[in-house]
Structure 1
Amino acid sequence: MISAPRIERACADAWPAQVDEPLGGWRLRAAGGFTGRANSALAVDDPGLPLSDALAAVCDFAHQHAISPMLQAVQNSPVERDLPRLGWRPCDGHAAGNDVAVLLGPAVPPDAAVPPAVDPRDIGRPPTDETVPDADPAGHRVEVLEEPTAGWWELTVGAPEPTDAARAVLTGGGPVGYGVVTGPGGTRAAVRGAVADGLLLVARLAVHPEHRRQGLARALMAAIGTWGVRHGAETCVLQVAADNTAALALYEGLGFREHHRYRYWTPCEDRTL
């Protein structure tokens, strides 16, 4: 059985903050405000301090790095159960949703298939005359690249050139693969995969609105999963807002099941200011 702390530590390694400092078994993270995961303290394991002192250290670290104090805690863990009495509350207004389901599934979903024109053995390899696939009948080409393209950035962060913080987080860790589906007109779908501790973290799956419901998400999951297996991953991890019913339905159909949930917490009153 894979534990929640192991999963969360691996996800932190696969989604690295610009600054990542240990506090006992906790991790204090900052990345210019880009994503909650990279700008919160990961509260798994023992911080080595009384909880009230550890929370004060979280606030001090946040102020030093010009971000709001925030804690990522596994739901119903001992740490989370103690937070309300110490003056912390859930970040219910968190932009990406504050009730996050962590899903586990096979690295390569059994019913997800790379389009026939693409040989899965060639995914992630430098293209040659022998390995470059022709486009499939719908004009799709699926690849996992070593470097993100402008089209990949556009779909995953909304701009062809990311901020320094976004670039640091999304190109850090490793190994990292950048899945893309391209066709006439440019990039149609994109995803990020990173391997840590034998787990493949898949994130930033996005399909252009004009090309949805064409099986591109499933094709990308197969492609990035095949890439992950080649880099030592046996299990895939996804983190999805618990109210994102469309995404949850897609992943359930690919064999994923909920393992645990986490939430972000913030102090009701920041006494360290």
Structure 2
Amino acid sequence: MDFTAGGRLEVRITPSDVGKRVSVRRITEIVDGRPVFADSVGILTSWDEGVLLVTRRDGETVRIAESSLVAGKIVPDAPARRGARAPRATARELQESAARGWPAQETARLGAWTLRAAGGFTRRANSVLPLGDPGVPLTEAAARIARWYGQRGLPAYVQVTTGGEDSDASLAEALGGLGWTAEGHALLRTAALAPIADLPGVEAVRLSREVDTAWLGRYHRTGDLGDEALKVLTGGPSVWFATVPGDGGEEDSGPAAIGRCVVDGRFASFGAVEVDPAHRRRGLASAVMAALARKALDEGASGAYLQVETDNDGARALYDRMGFTTHHAYHYRRGPQSAGG
């Protein structure tokens, strides 16, 4: 790829370009006095404390030291294939993408497991993602997890995937034997992105990179966790917020509908799709998702996924009509010392 401008390598990106698709070149090593280069193309996920994270289309995140960067530029969004099926992905790939799109503010490693905390805002951002081996016996891992969350005044949760080739059914059973109880049962559902983008009503939807007070006022989960929630909501590889203004304008009545989408490589994740009860049955939820899906297509995604609780029959019926099917199920195991946490 051509990085040169006037015959020289140049870094033409800055931290303000986070969320954009970039191409970067870095020095990986010096061999016989000469640098060896590596190139990466993807979404600039973050640029903090001298480290860049670039998420490629396959979902892999490349960690790049700013000091090794020799060239970088913004590149046009890759056109997505408008297929009728979602791209294939394992449960692990989708859970890793979901973690990037709903990022915890504090993490710690326990072998291949990731402990996540975000001030208690949602179980997803305040639970262990157990992808692989914790490196210690399960009884010791469970004790360490309970201590880590207890030090933060949080209940200890482990997110457990069930079904599919990445099933953690044996882990769920083992945790159950240690007294960890099951709760928060949910489904991760996938669909092709293009049919969603073709749904009507997008002309009523406003899209923004920023979340405002009107959007937050409609979102039911923020409550008293505004600061922590905002950090989670605005985090992710490429985040978009959708708003349908109310009949009297947002200032008077609040938004009629809202939604959020995170574009991460091949997939776009959807969440926080909420409609004012006074405006339901007008197709606003599908309009919000259509507008977000069009933006995700523009950024190169071709698949969609979302997470929905198993007992939310209304949402499941809506997503059925949009073509979503269940990829796998998951739930949380709560530690026995976490009652009332």
* Interval containing the TM-score (normalised by the shorter chain): 0.7 to 0.9
User: 1:73, 1:159 → 2: CA distance?
Assistant: 25
* Aligned-residue identity in percent: 34
Match of 1:84 among 172, 176, 179: 176
Equivalent residue for 2:193?
Answer: 107
User: 1:99, 1:158 → 2: CA distance?
Assistant: 18
Equivalent residue for 1:125?
Answer: none
- Alignment coverage as a number of residue pairs: 241
Deviation at 1:81, TM superposition (A): 2.5
User: 1:70, 1:148 → 2: CA distance?
Assistant: 28
User: 2:121, 2:272 → 1: CA distance?
Assistant: 13
Asked if residue 207 in structure 1 is aligned to residue 294 in structure 2, the reply is: no
User: Structure 2 regions of 5+ residues with no counterpart?
Assistant: 1-87
Task: Report 1 or 2 for greater relative contact order, CA contacts < 8 Å, sequence distance ≥ 6.
Answer: 1
Equivalent residue for 1:62?
Answer: 149
Q: 1:52-201, aligned counterparts within 5 Å?
A: 52-75=139-162, 77=168, 78-91=170-183, 98-110=184-196, 112-115=198-201, 118=203, 141-157=204-220, 163-185=226-248, 186=250, 187-201=255-269
Cα 1:158–1:38, aligned 2, differ >3 Å: closer, same or farther? Answer: closer
Equivalent residue for 1:263?
Answer: 331
Deviation at 1:111, TM superposition (A): 7.8
Letter in 2 for 1:9: E
Asked if residue 27 in structure 1 is aligned to residue 114 in structure 2, the reply is: yes
User: Structure 1 regions of 5+ residues with no counterpart?
Assistant: 92-97, 119-140
User: 2:194, 2:213 → 1: CA distance?
Assistant: 27
Asked if residue 241 in structure 1 is aligned to residue 309 in structure 2, the reply is: yes
Question: What TM-score do the two structures reach when normalised by structure 1?
Answer: 0.82
Aligned 8 A contact 1:188 1:207 in 2? yes
Match of 1:10 among 97, 114, 133: 97
Equivalent residue for 1:131?
Answer: none
Question: What TM-score do the two structures reach when normalised by structure 2?
Answer: 0.66
Equivalent residue for 2:125?
Answer: 38
Q: Deviations over 1:102-134 (max 9, x none)?
A: 100122335852427x3xxxxxxxxxxxxxxxx
Cα 1:269–1:110, aligned 2, differ >3 Å: closer, same or farther? Answer: closer
User: 2:116, 2:230 → 1: CA distance?
Assistant: 16
Counterpart secondary structure, 2:245: strand
User: 1:18, 1:3 → 2: CA distance?
Assistant: 25
Aligned 8 A contact 1:26 1:44 in 2? yes
Deviation at 1:27, TM superposition (A): 1.2
User: 1:147, 1:63 → 2: CA distance?
Assistant: 33
User: 1:35, 1:62 → 2: CA distance?
Assistant: 14
Cα 1:35–1:159, aligned 2, differ >3 Å: closer, same or farther? Answer: closer
Q: More strand per residue: 1 or 2?
A: 2
Larger Rg: 2
Q: Deviations over 1:74-123 (max 9, x none)?
A: 125232132122222213xxxxxx1101100122335852427x3xxxxx
Deviation at 1:152, TM superposition (A): 0.9
User: 2:222, 2:337 → 1: CA distance?
Assistant: 35
Cα 1:18–1:222, aligned 2, differ >3 Å: closer, same or farther? Answer: same
Counterpart secondary structure, 1:55: helix
Equivalent residue for 2:65?
Answer: none
Aligned 8 A contact 1:100 1:262 in 2? yes
Deviation at 1:182, TM superposition (A): 1.5
Aligned 8 A contact 1:73 1:80 in 2? yes
**Comparing 49-58 with 250-259, which one deviates more in the overlay?**
49-58
User: 1:82, 1:160 → 2: CA distance?
Assistant: 35
